[in-house]
Structure 1
Amino acid sequence: MREKSTAAIIEIIEKGATTSGDEPGESVIAPNEVRLNGQSLLASADDPVIVHEISTRGDELVRVTLTLLARRVSIRAENDPEGA
Structure 2
Amino acid sequence: MADRPVGAVIEIIERRPQPTNPDHAAGDVVVPNEIRINGQRLLAPANSPVTVHELELREHDAVLVTLTLFAKRVVIGAEEHGAEVDDRG
The question of a shared fold, defined as TM-score above 0.5 by the shorter chain, is answered with: yes
Change (3 A) 1:56 1:69: same
Counterpart for residue 38 of structure 1? 39
Counterpart for residue 3 of structure 1? 3
Gaps of 5+ in 2: none
Q: Cα offset for 1:60?
A: 3.0
Q: Cα offset for 1:55?
A: 1.0
Q: Which letter maps to 2:44?
A: A
Counterpart for residue 16 of structure 2? 16
Matches within 5 A, 1:1-84: 1-16=1-16, 18=19, 22=22, 26-58=27-59, 60-76=61-77, 77=79, 79=83
Task: Could you list the structure 1 runs, at least 4 aligned residues long, displaced by more than 4 angstroms after superposition.
Answer: none
Q: Structure 1 vs Structure 2: percent identity of aligned residues?
A: 46
RMSD: 2.5
Residue-pair matches, total: 80
SS in 2 for 1:73: coil
Work out the CA distance in 2 between the residues paired with 1:10 and 1:71.
19
Gaps of 5+ in 1: none
1:31-69 deviation digits (Å, cap 9, x = unpaired): 000000000000112221100011123353211011111
TM-score (norm 2): 0.72
TM-score (norm 1): 0.75
